[in-house]
Amino acid sequence: MLQMFYITVWGKAVEDWNSDEVLDNFYALADSPRMLGELIELLEYNYNKIDFIDRWDVLISDISIRKKATLFKFLRYCRAHGLR
């Protein structure tokens, strides 16, 4: 699912999720108030349609410590702003 999102936004598939280019692209997305706002709006809209959540430990086992820190920073941001 993340691969499909990445292709939609940046127009190419990711071969190495640990590359600096991928991290830089996600930081650029997070630094854009409009894009981040639209992404949060989309996540809020679809939140109630989620019927399962994969195990987090499996989802994040293949990403670097830097990316994990970014992911958890984003999750803390969502929690702080009332997003689940």
pTM above 0.85, yes or no: no
Domain ranges (residues) in the chain: 20-80
Q: Which phi-psi region, left, alpha or beta, contains residue 52 (left: φ > 0; alpha: ψ -120 to 50)?
A: beta
Residue 52, pLDDT score: 58
Rounded Cα distance, 27 and 25, in Å: 5
Other beta carbons within 10 Å of 37: 10
Report the distance separating Cα 63 and Cα 56, nearest Å: 12
Residue linked to tokens 């999102």: 5
pLDDT in tens, 4-41: 888 888 899 999 988 899 989 888 888 888 888 888 88
**Alpha-carbon gap, residue 53 to 51, rounded angstroms:** 7
Give the residue, 80 or 57, on which the prediction is more confident.
80
